[in-house]
Structure 1
Amino acid sequence: MDEKAFTVEFCKYLKSKFQDIKVEYIKELEVRYKIAGKEEITALLYNAYTEYRIDPSEINSIFEKSIVWVNDKNKKTMENIVPIIKGKRFYMEIQDLKFGKDLYFEKLNEELYIYYAFDNEHHISYVKIEDLKKLEISSNEIRDVAIDNLITLVPQIKRIDFDGFFIITANGIYESSLILLDDIWTKENFPVKGDFVIAIPAREVLLITGTQEEKGLKILKEKYLNDDMEYSYFITKEMFVLRNSRWEVY
């Protein structure tokens, strides 16, 4: 099934699930819909389509995951804002959408962006510029607020050791966001040779090696960042090095 057919099927699925719903096909992998009594939603199906390509037999559960949150209460408070790392592809995909223009974000480097979201247990909703105004949060303080909340959400970070690199696990959602926690980036936590080098190909994947770890760098490139690897919630296949407290493209 190509992208257009997948999007059409998602529209059909929405109409089969809800009686009072208006669905608008915007373009491939982008749908706008509104359920009576709820906010209008712009659904970006890029991650869903990647999941479908990995396992087409799971299409119904993939669709269900994409809409399950409409039944939840969408709480928007300072206490449930979290940072979300996104790559250039996501940034470029949403730039021409009203949805994208409404969102608040910060540029981390030429490949990575920080978006913010309200974590509501079963779903997230992205923080809009108007949300900051309503909550009276300035652009200077939102990152600190979100990082404090992230620490609460992932109280335990585990390191899995391999020859020349580490895999980091937390809660299965925000691993990539851990690159924003300045205090964890010590050689005591991650004893690698040289400067820290990371790969975050997906939101739940954080791989760590060092600039002098030849084997680790080779494994990351060939196993996790090769052209054939597909990830749900894809971020980027670039690697990044920590220099002067900043993540730079490696």
Structure 2
Amino acid sequence: MFRLTLLFTLFAATALHAADPLSQKHFTARYAEAVEAAYAGAKVEVVGDLEVEVSSGDEQSTRSFLDNAYKSYQADPEAIDDILQRYVAALNDMLNPDPRNDIGRLFPVIKDNTYITEIKAVLRQSEGYDPSDPFPFYYEQLNRELVVMYAFDSETGISMASADDVEAFGIAGPALRARAVENLMNYLPGISREGSNRLSLVKADGNYEASLILAEDIWTRDNFDVAGDIVIFVPSRDVLMVTGSKDVEGLAVARELIASNEWPYFISGHGFVRTSEGWVVFDKP
């Protein structure tokens, strides 16, 4: 069963009009040519507009969905070479997986149930789909809205861990999550906070802010002296807002910010309150 390179990123950009912009068909062809040039011996098949199947000589296979690459191109047509280079480089870990299953590169990633549903929809539309096949990526339910997935992070890109990858580690559940969080905390250059106790923004590296909700040691009254219980919002992977369950103004501002913006790498519009059972959906006004 092939691995999927999922490029669902929901870029929020206004398209710039350039002379004779590439159509989806021609952009896909340019991407296919770039892959062939970068990976000698790779078999590249254009499945449809913005969809390409790539296979290596050792039968590793991946399917690239270029919707967001094309959106990036529409926003900045002059950057097409950089865009293609970035997306082509991301194939490396898929076509040349690390046989060691290096748990030291494993980081936690926060997604929502909609993300899982979208992957399943893509799978159902894929050639050779078998409904008896297991879901290709390992994930854990965090609460009724959010899931925790795990990703191998390298210089060339991020690839999601499968159930087989996790089984090879010999650990799962709380131990797996603790190790992935430890990896993340060792990787991040630092964590800072901007704003006030009414509403603050937690900053890290611009990629893993949402994942910080799993770092138990952060979520103390000393760090966040808010009104009521700690409430967080993660509209995007790089945005982590914090306020209090009794701070009416802070909650209102956070929700207005989420509603009035289009977020890249969108996760959820819900708030989540810190309880003894973990993060629970918080929809109170």
TM-score in same-fold range (> 0.5):
yes
- C-alpha distance in structure 1 between counterparts of 2:55 and 2:105, whole Å: 24
Cα offset for 1:71?
A: 4.2
Check if 1:143 corresponds to 2:177: yes
Q: Which residue of 1 aligns with 2:43?
A: 21
- C-alpha distance in structure 2 between counterparts of 1:30 and 1:23, whole Å: 9
Is residue 32–residue 46 contact of structure 2 (8 Å, CA) maintained in 1?
no
Please identify, of 122-131 and 177-186, the stretch whose mean Cα deviation from structure 2 is larger: 122-131
Check if 1:127 corresponds to 2:161: yes
Check if 1:246 corresponds to 2:278: yes
Query: For residue 189 of structure 1, what is the amino acid of its counterpart?
Result: N
Is residue 28–residue 52 contact of structure 2 (8 Å, CA) maintained in 1?
yes
Cα offset for 1:194?
A: 0.7
Q: Deviations over 1:47-101 (max 9, x none)?
A: 5466567x35476244433222234664430111110000122111012426981
Q: Deviations over 1:192-234 (max 9, x none)?
A: 11111111111111010111222211111112x11x5222211
- C-alpha distance in structure 1 between counterparts of 2:222 and 2:59, whole Å: 48
Unaligned runs of 5+ in 1: none
User: How many residues are paired up?
Assistant: 243
Cα offset for 1:122?
A: 3.4
Q: In percent, how many aligned pairs have the same letter?
A: 32
Q: Which residue of 1 aligns with 2:268?
A: 236
- Rate the CA distance shift 1:220–1:100 in 2: closer, same or farther, 3 A: farther
- C-alpha distance in structure 2 between counterparts of 1:9 and 1:176, whole Å: 35
SS of residue matched to 1:187? coil
Cα offset for 1:239?
A: 1.4
Query: Greater Rg, structure 1 or structure 2?
Result: 2
- Which aligned pairs between 1:116-195 and structure 2 lie closer than 5 A? 116-162=150-196, 164-195=198-229
- C-alpha distance in structure 1 between counterparts of 2:115 and 2:29, whole Å: 25
Give the TM-score of the pair, scaled to structure 1.
0.84
SS of residue matched to 2:47? strand
- C-alpha distance in structure 2 between counterparts of 1:6 and 1:140, whole Å: 47
2:63 to 23, 42, 53: 42
Cα offset for 1:191?
A: 1.5
Give the TM-score of the pair, scaled to structure 2.
0.74
Query: For residue 249 of structure 1, what is the amino acid of its counterpart?
Result: V
- Which aligned pairs between 1:217-232 and structure 2 lie closer than 5 A? 217-223=251-257, 225-226=258-259, 228-232=260-264
Query: For residue 135 of structure 1, what is the amino acid of its counterpart?
Result: F
